[in-house]
């Protein structure tokens, strides 16, 4: 067992917690003691999954009252993250390090929590920043001063030219000033908060001892060349299966088994909602590459008109589909429509679940394409399973990821909205048929799958980076 004790601090929302927990599980297999400090509600979920390594200890540093969830106070969680968490983390480190034989020797914090990295530096503790998004996301943040100097945005992050497109490097996403991370984050107040946070975090992130991310060098060569301080160790859904005693075996691409290419998926990938695994039995009855998987993450919400157009578009394809519809996001009218729709379609043609075991779904041989919001976790999971993507981005970095998928990797297509902002059923039908019917999309997706999975095999770039990271943690 390692003498090193690592404190891991995620930004306490689903898309950030999942990859950091996957990293925690990988590190625990090498004997590191992990303290995972997060929200009480998240701990209750993780603790009930029966997936935690003995070396991982969950510590609650926020609860529902502090994050405003008990009173449904908007913005309270963000306030608690920056006003409540720092003091609690400092106290946790002080109390833990009072014991000579159990000192925290390394802090790994979500890169958006610059204060955690600054705190670790102040307390003389090794620190690593962890990026849960694409490396291109940080490259954009690092280039904010240049964007201001070039007159593309002002000092508040407001675009000086609407719908102006630019690209930092030919293998990086084509960016639009209307679709920047912060310009796609709610109202103007929230946009300013996110922009200021990115500017502030730049210094803390760049001064960290390590800056690691859940990506692959060959997926983002331009981003890693422009910011060589960012070290890829992904895809973590695969590296979580690494055996500390051996290199990963050579693995042929497989499309005829429910397991992932390298191991049975049993990580926390998925959600903080109960998963309906019965959909896997339904998928077992479907032909190879025949099913349209539809899932939009934990934040995306549709109005009544858009929800109905999506349903009717899926019906028009005449293809089988598995659709994740969060029951907590349905109003009474939409619920009635959905019940009527499914009665007409029939369960043989379509399955609706409130949440799916996504990694198992994406690795299932019956899945033909993925209608996705293009969150980075979903994107990297689809790439790692060779699944073409129909892009339906909602906010934040999802528009950047869409450009990777459609413009750079060419493993998917986007959707066009009508003048009223709605994506109609005919457009949905056309794009699904395009993805499912054009073999070149699947061929390229499988090429990127092999590229991603090769990176975590012995001798692969992500594999070696991960080993180097472990050796750095132990070098004290």
Could you read off the pLDDT of 38-60 as tens digits, one per residue? Answer: 888 888 777 655 556 788 899 98
Q: Is residue 69 scored above 90 in pLDDT? A: no
Sign of CA dihedral 17, 21, 24, 26: negative
**Is residue 194 within 8 Å of residue 209, measured between CB atoms?**
no
Q: What's the pLDDT score for residue 470?
A: 95
Residue 244 has pLDDT above 50, yes or no: no
Q: Check pLDDT > 80 for residue 106.
A: yes
The pLDDT score that the predictor gives to residue 267 is 37
285-325 pLDDT per residue, tens = 999 999 999 998 766 678 888 989 999 999 999 999 999 98
CA distances from 409 to 131, 289, 323 (A): 21, 20, 25
Report pLDDT for 385: 95
CA distance 176 to 214: 24
Q: Is the pLDDT of residue 431 over 60?
A: yes
What average pLDDT does this structure show over 205-223? 96
Which pLDDT tens digit goes with each residue over 353-376?
Answer: 988 889 999 999 999 999 999 999
pLDDT tier at 339 (50, 70, 90 boundaries)? Answer: confident
Asked if pLDDT for residue 256 goes beyond 70, the answer is no
Strands 165-166, 175-176: pairing kind: antiparallel
pLDDT digits (tens, 9 = 90+) for 399-420: 999 999 999 999 999 999 999 9
Structure-block tokens of residue 163: 């719908």
| Contact criterion met (CB below 8 Å) for 370 and 382 | yes
Distant-in-sequence contacts of 163-170, Cβ < 8 A, 24+ apart = 168/136, 168/139, 168/140, 168/143, 168/222, 168/223, 168/226, 169/222, 169/223, 169/225, 169/226, 170/222
pLDDT band at 258 (very low <50, low <70, confident <90, very high): very low
Per residue in 380-399, pLDDT (tens digit) is 999 999 999 999 998 889 99
Domains (range + CATH), the chain = 5-242+458-475 (3.40.50.2000), 277-452 (3.40.50.2000)
pTM (2 decimals)?
0.88
Mean pLDDT, the chain, whole residue set: 86
pLDDT score recorded for residue 41? 81
Percent of the chain past pLDDT 90, that is, above it, reads: 60
Residues forming beta bridges with residue 153, ordered by sequence position:
159
Question: pLDDT at position 148, please?
Answer: 95
For residue 165, is pLDDT > 80?
A: yes
């Amino acid at each position: 067992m390692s003498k090193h004790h690592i404190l891991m601090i995620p930004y306490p929302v689903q898309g950030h917690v999942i990859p950091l927990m996957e990293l925690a599980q990988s590190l625990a297999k090498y004997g590191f003691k992990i303290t995972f400090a997060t929200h009480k509600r998240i701990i209750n979920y993780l603790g009930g999954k029966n997936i935690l390594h003995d070396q991982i200890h969950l510590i609650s540093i926020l609860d529902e009252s502090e994050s405003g969830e008990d009173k449904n106070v908007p913005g309270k969680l963000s306030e608690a993250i920056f006003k409540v968490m720092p003091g609690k983390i400092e106290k946790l480190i002080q109390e833990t390090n009072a014991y000579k034989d159990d000192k925290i020797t390394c802090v790994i914090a979500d890169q958006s929590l610059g204060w955690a990295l600054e705190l670790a530096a102040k307390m003389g503790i090794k620190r690593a920043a962890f990026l849960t998004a694409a490396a291109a996301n940080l490259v954009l943040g690092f280039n904010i001063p240049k964007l201001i100097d070039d007159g593309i945005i002002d000092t508040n992050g407001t675009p000086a030219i609407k719908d102006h497109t630019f690209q930092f490097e030919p293998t990086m996403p084509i960016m639009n000033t209307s679709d920047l991370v912060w310009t796609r984050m709610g109202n103007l107040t929230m946009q300013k908060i996110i922009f200021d946070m990115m500017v502030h975090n730049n210094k803390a992130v760049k001064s960290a001892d390590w800056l690691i991310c859940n990506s692959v060098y060959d997926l983002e060569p331009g981003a890693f060349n422009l910011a060589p301080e960012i070290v890829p160790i992904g895809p973590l859904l695969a590296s979580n299966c690494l055996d500390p005693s051996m290199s990963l075996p050579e693995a042929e691409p497989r499309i005829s088994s429910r397991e992932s290419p390298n191991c049975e998926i049993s990580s926390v990938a998925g959600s903080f909602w109960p998963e309906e695994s019965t959909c896997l039995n339904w998928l077992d009855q479907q032909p190879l590459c025949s099913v349209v998987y539809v899932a939009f993450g934990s934040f995306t919400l549709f109005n009544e008109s858009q929800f109905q157009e999506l349903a009717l578009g899926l019906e028009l394809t005449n293809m089988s589909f598995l659709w994740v519809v969060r029951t907590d996001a349905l109003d009474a009218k939409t619920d009635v429509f959905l019940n009527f729709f499914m009665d007409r379609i029939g369960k043989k043609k379509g399955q609706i679940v409130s949440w799916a075991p996504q990694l198992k779904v994406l690795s299932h041989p019956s899945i033909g394409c993925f209608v996705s919001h293009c969150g980075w976790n979903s994107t990297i999971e689809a790439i790692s399973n060779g699944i073409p993507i129909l892009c339906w981005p909602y906010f934040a970095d999802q528009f950047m990821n869409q450009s990777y998928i459609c413009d750079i990797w060419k493993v998917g297509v986007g959707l066009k909205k009508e003048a009223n902002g709605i994506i109609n059923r005919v457009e949905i039908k056309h794009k699904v048929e395009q993805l499912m019917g054009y073999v070149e999309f699947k061929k390229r997706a499988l090429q990127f799958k092999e590229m991603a999975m090769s990176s975590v095999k012995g001798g692969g770039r992500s594999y070696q980076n991960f080993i180097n990271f472990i050796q750095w943690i132990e070098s004290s």
